[in-house]
């Protein structure tokens, strides 16, 4: 009624003429509040039993929807008028072109009665899709009850959602009502088939989606409240960085209200059966998150890891894992950021596919608070591993708050011995600059177990050490204190050990070694290198392993000046040296020296300094060129003399070939 009134009021030019039984009205232009049309031709034919109405509009524009149409033709062959002034058109036909739709056509039923205006679409075709239902204006209320089928989303998408490029077919039902005081309510259920979309950067993309969306809402003056439920059951979705393939349906439900500058969700929920379930509530105000309470459960970490966890871990040591088990957690977010976090792990196994680390049988109840008093947490695992070194299980008691985690002393099995950690504290979680400090003690760690784990020749001995401070910061792990390895009857002291980027592609290990009183008899027996009696001492400076491979060192090994052990070297050891050297082994044993099973020696000395791919060699000083590696003593005397001081490292093996018996004389 109000629309027609406005139409009448806004009629600018009205030219009417009666020509026989036809009443025609032509207008160059009509306009109203939010619309305009023209030229317009309205003809009323009154010759038959019922008058016929025909409306033609060359162009029209609806401002609120930014719609422009042309060639509108509405024909009502039977216009029913009664004495009360009611007007009905039981069977009208409508055709028009209204971009983005090329063709809109269909049948209508319309009635203007004392109760209001009713327009029924039965149905209306939009480029292959169909809409049917009723639009009505009655008293203070306008209502719509529409059903859609097969609407092509690409058509409106090209006009109103260019940056999202939607495609797919939409069907469903929509019902809504608008009161003159501004109150409105809607509910609907839509189905999407073969839907796709993509933003301009391709960072939010859906393909082949099937979805069902149900909506219920009401509102007034820019505020709205209601609920939305969405089920995605086919296709794939990429919301950078997350990728989801809907082999199982994803259900999302949201209930809340929105007002200018504020969003409150009293309940939201997302679930994928057997994979994850999350629920909570949140408040968004003034362009930022003001409050969030979230409960989440990952029922199957093997399924959840690739789509929900790995994408945010790319570039870290945790981006290529095999994971099993269950996890659940809670998150409380306040106006100033995260306030509390809880994480439960149940039977979790984590293994790096690169073989760098693994944890099995992990159970945890971890709690963190931003400001409150530290909360107690526990973390336990059944077994663990670092590279090829196995670690036993343990149970940690820890407290976390703010930027700090402190762990109560704990110990675990390590290579048939024990590793005890005390005073472990981690900081820098919030700033991103993770730092850890701890003290450590190694008790009875067996080298035999170590050599077994690393497939080395079997070594005997054990490691006992007190490390007052282990420190990890900016990718660098450093040990303060000496690591004493009891080995071959003596000891090897590891000093100043540092490992940079321990889980990276090329970890760098730097340290110094001090060798004290090693029993060569035990050492040579381990390597089946003949038999050498005596002691060995020395230093290895600037030892550097990159990617666990030897990159540089400066080793200086020698017999102690006051060695109490006898100095004897077996013919086998000489043979081995000789065989390494130049194949003279048989020559030595073939000479009269072959009757001697062992030889006395004065001292052993060898210095090897590796720089780049070159080894620099030296030994005990010798007049007349070269240097002693083995300086013989007594009779018969055998000297092993080195000649070259600089050799390619790879050629050190060849250099060993050059070690030869320079002198084998009986004086």
Partner 1 sequence: MIKRAGWPLLSLLLSACVTINIYFPAAAAEEAARVIVRDVLKGTEAAEPEAAPAEGQNGAALDGPSGALRMVLHLLETMVPQAHAAQADININTPAIARLRQSMQKRQKALAPWYRAGAIGFNARGLVEVRTLKPVPLNQRNRLKKLVADENEDRNALYREIARANGHPEWEDEIRKTFARIWVEEAPKGYWYKTDGSWKRK
Helix, strand, coil distribution of the chain in percent, nearest 5: 10, 65, 25
Q: Is 566 in the site for partner 1 (CB under 8 A)?
A: no
Measured from the CB atom, is 84 or 455 closer to partner 1? Answer: 455
Structure tokens at 261: 């500058």
Q: Which of 305, 333, 357, 649 lies at the binding interface for partner 1 (CB under 8 A)? A: 649
Q: Is 613 in the site for partner 1 (CB under 8 A)?
A: yes
599 and 569 in contact (C-beta within 8 Å)?
yes
Give me the residues paired with residue 22 across strands: 19, 45
Give the shortest CB-500-to-partner 1 separation in angstroms: 9
333 and 291 in contact (C-beta within 8 Å)?
yes
Write the DSSP symbol of residue 597.
S
Q: Which of 34, 222, 241, 444 lies at the binding interface for partner 1 (CB under 8 A)? A: 241
Give the interface segment with partner 1, choosing from 45-53, 218-226, 285-293, 549-557 (CB under 8 A): 549-557
Give the shortest CB-475-to-partner 1 separation in angstroms: 11
Q: Which of 159, 220, 646, 663 lies at the binding interface for partner 1 (CB under 8 A)? A: 646
Total interface residues for partner 1 by CB under 8 A: 63
Among residues 630, 667, 665, 660, the alpha carbon closest in space to that of 644 is found at: 660
Q: Which of 286, 505, 564, 625 lies at the binding interface for partner 1 (CB under 8 A)? A: 505
Rounded distance between C-alpha atoms, residue 641 and residue 629, angstroms: 6
Give the shortest CB-306-to-partner 1 separation in angstroms: 8
Q: Is 648 in the site for partner 1 (CB under 8 A)?
A: yes
458 and 430 in contact (C-beta within 8 Å)?
no
Which residues lie below 8 Å from residue 242, measured CB to CB, with a gap of 6+?
307, 308, 311
Give the shortest CB-153-to-partner 1 separation in angstroms: 19
Give the interface segment with partner 1, choosing from 344-352, 418-426, 459-467, 520-528 (CB under 8 A): 520-528
Q: Using CB under 8 A as the criterion, what x/- string covers residues 453-482 for binding partner 1? A: ---xx-------------------------
Measured from the CB atom, is 29 or 657 closer to partner 1? Answer: 657
Among residues 503, 505, 482, the alpha carbon closest in space to that of 494 is found at: 482
Give the interface segment with partner 1, choosing from 26-34, 197-205, 392-400, 459-467 (CB under 8 A): 197-205
Q: Which residue has the tokens 């086919």?
A: 234
Q: Which residues inside 287-326 make contact with partner 1, applying CB under 8 A?
A: 306, 310-311, 314-315, 319-320
Q: Which of 557, 647, 661, 664 lies at the binding interface for partner 1 (CB under 8 A)? A: 647
Which residues lie below 8 Å from residue 626, measured CB to CB, with a gap of 6+?
641, 642, 643, 662
Q: Which of 181, 240, 247, 376 lies at the binding interface for partner 1 (CB under 8 A)? A: 240
Give the shortest CB-606-to-partner 1 separation in angstroms: 15
Q: Is 651 in the site for partner 1 (CB under 8 A)?
A: yes
486 and 494 in contact (C-beta within 8 Å)?
no
Q: Is 657 in the site for partner 1 (CB under 8 A)?
A: yes
Mapping DSSP onto H, E and C, the string for 407-450 reads ECCEEEEECCEEEEEEEEEEECCCCCCCEEEEEEEEEEEEHHHH
Measured from the CB atom, is 99 or 583 closer to partner 1? Answer: 583
Q: Which residues inside 350-379 make contact with partner 1, applying CB under 8 A?
A: none
Q: Is 145 in the site for partner 1 (CB under 8 A)?
A: no
Q: Which of 135, 245, 380, 412 lies at the binding interface for partner 1 (CB under 8 A)? A: 245
Give the shortest CB-601-to-partner 1 separation in angstroms: 19
Instruction: Give the CA dihedral 553, 556, 557, 559, nearest 10 degrees.
Output: -170
511 and 534 in contact (C-beta within 8 Å)?
no
Which helix (DSSP H) or strand (DSSP E) does residue 8 occupy?
helix 2-10
Measured from the CB atom, is 138 or 236 closer to partner 1? Answer: 236
For residue 64, report the phi and psi dihedrals to the nearest 5 degrees: -60, -35
Give the shortest CB-313-to-partner 1 separation in angstroms: 9
Q: Which of 37, 76, 237, 400 lies at the binding interface for partner 1 (CB under 8 A)? A: 237
Measured from the CB atom, is 237 or 282 closer to partner 1? Answer: 237
Among residues 283, 324, 331, 280, the alpha carbon closest in space to that of 302 is found at: 324
530 and 524 in contact (C-beta within 8 Å)?
yes
Q: Which of 28, 65, 203, 635 lies at the binding interface for partner 1 (CB under 8 A)? A: 203
DSSP string, 217-269: EEEETTEEEEEEEEEEEEEEEEETTEEEE-SS-EEEEEEEEEETTEEEEEEEE
Outline where DSSP puts E strands in 415-558: 417-427, 435-446, 461-473, 476-480, 483-487, 490-500, 508-519, 532-533, 535-546, 549-558
Measured from the CB atom, is 382 or 616 closer to partner 1? Answer: 616
Site residues, partner 1 (CB under 8 A):
198, 201-203, 205, 207, 236-238, 240-241, 243, 245, 306, 310-311, 314-315, 319-320, 456-457, 501, 504-506, 508, 526-529, 544, 546-547, 549-551, 576, 579-583, 611-614, 643-644, 646-655, 657-660
């Amino acid at each position: 009624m109000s629309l027609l009134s406005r139409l009448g009021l806004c009629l600018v030019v009205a030219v009417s003429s009666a020509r026989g039984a036809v009443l025609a009205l032509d207008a160059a232009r009509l306009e109203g509040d939010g619309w305009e049309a023209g030229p317009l031709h309205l003809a009323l034919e009154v010759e038959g039993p019922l008058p016929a109405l025909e409306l033609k509009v060359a162009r029209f524009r609806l401002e609120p929807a930014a719609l422009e149409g042309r060639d509108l033709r509405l024909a009502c062959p039977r216009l029913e008028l009664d004495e009360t002034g009611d007007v009905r058109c039981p069977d009208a036909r409508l055709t028009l072109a209204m971009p983005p739709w090329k063709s809109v056509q269909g049948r209508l039923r319309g009635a203007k009665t004392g109760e209001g205006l009713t327009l029924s679409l039965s149905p209306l075709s939009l480029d292959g899709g169909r809409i049917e239902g009723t639009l009505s204006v009655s008293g203070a209320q306008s209502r719509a009850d529409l059903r859609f089928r097969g609407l092509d989303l690409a058509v409106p998408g090209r006009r109103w959602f260019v940056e999202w490029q939607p495609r797919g077919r939409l069907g469903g039902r929509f019902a809504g009502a608008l009161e003159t005081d501004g109150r409105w309510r809607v509910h609907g259920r839509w189905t999407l088939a073969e839907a796709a979309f993509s933003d301009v950067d391709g960072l939010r993309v859906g393909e082949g989606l099937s979805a069902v969306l149900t909506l219920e809402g009401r509102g007034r003056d820019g505020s709205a409240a209601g609920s939305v439920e969405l089920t995605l059951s086919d296709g794939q979705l990429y919301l950078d960085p997350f990728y989801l393939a809907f082999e199982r349906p994803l259900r999302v439900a949201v209930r809340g209200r929105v007002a200018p500058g504020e969003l409150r969700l009293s309940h939201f929920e997302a679930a994928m059966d057997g994979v994850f379930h999350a629920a909570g509530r949140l408040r968004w105000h003034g362009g930022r998150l003001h409050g969030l309470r979230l409960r989440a459960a990952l029922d199957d970490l093997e399924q959840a890891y690739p789509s929900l966890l790995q994408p945010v871990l790319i570039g870290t040591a945790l981006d290529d894992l095999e994971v099993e088990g269950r996890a659940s957690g809670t998150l409380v977010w306040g106006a100033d950021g995260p306030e509390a976090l809880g994480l439960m792990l149940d039977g979790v196994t984590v293994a790096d596919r690169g073989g760098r680390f693994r944890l099995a049988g992990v159970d945890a109840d971890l709690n963190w608070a931003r400001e409150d008093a530290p909360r107690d947490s526990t973390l336990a695992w059944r077994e663990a591993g670092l590279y090829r070194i196995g670690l036993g299980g343990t149970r940690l008691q820890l407290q976390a708050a703010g930027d700090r985690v402190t762990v109560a002393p704990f110990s675990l099995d390590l290579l048939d011995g024990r590793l005890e950690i005390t005073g472990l504290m981690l900081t820098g979680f919030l700033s991103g600059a993770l730092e850890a400090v701890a003290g450590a003690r190694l008790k009875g760690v067996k080298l035999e177990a170590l050599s077994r784990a690393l497939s080395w020749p079997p070594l005997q001995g054990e490691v006992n050490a007190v490390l007052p401070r282990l420190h990890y910061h900016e990718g660098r792990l450093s040990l303060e204190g000496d690591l004493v390895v009891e080995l071959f009857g003596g000891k090897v002291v590891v000093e100043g050990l540092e490992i940079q980027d321990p889980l990276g592609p090329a970890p760098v290990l730097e340290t110094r070694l001090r060798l004290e009183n090693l029993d060569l008899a035990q050492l040579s027996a381990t390597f089946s290198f003949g038999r050498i009696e005596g002691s060995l001492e020395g230093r290895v400076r600037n030892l550097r392993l990159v990617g666990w491979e030897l990159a540089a060192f400066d080793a200086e090994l020698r017999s102690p000046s006051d060695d109490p052990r006898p100095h004897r070297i077996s013919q086998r050891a000489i043979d081995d040296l000789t065989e390494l050297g130049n194949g003279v082994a048989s020559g030595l044993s073939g000479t009269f020296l072959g009757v001697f099973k062992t030889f006395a020696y004065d001292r052993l000395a060898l210095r090897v300094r590796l720089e780049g791919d070159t080894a620099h060699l030296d030994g005990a000083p010798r007049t007349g060129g070269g240097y002693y590696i083995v300086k013989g003593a007594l009779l018969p005397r055998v000297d092993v003399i080195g000649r070259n001081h600089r050799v390619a490292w790879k050629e050190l093996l060849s250099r060993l070939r050059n070690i030869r018996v320079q002198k084998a004389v009986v004086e």
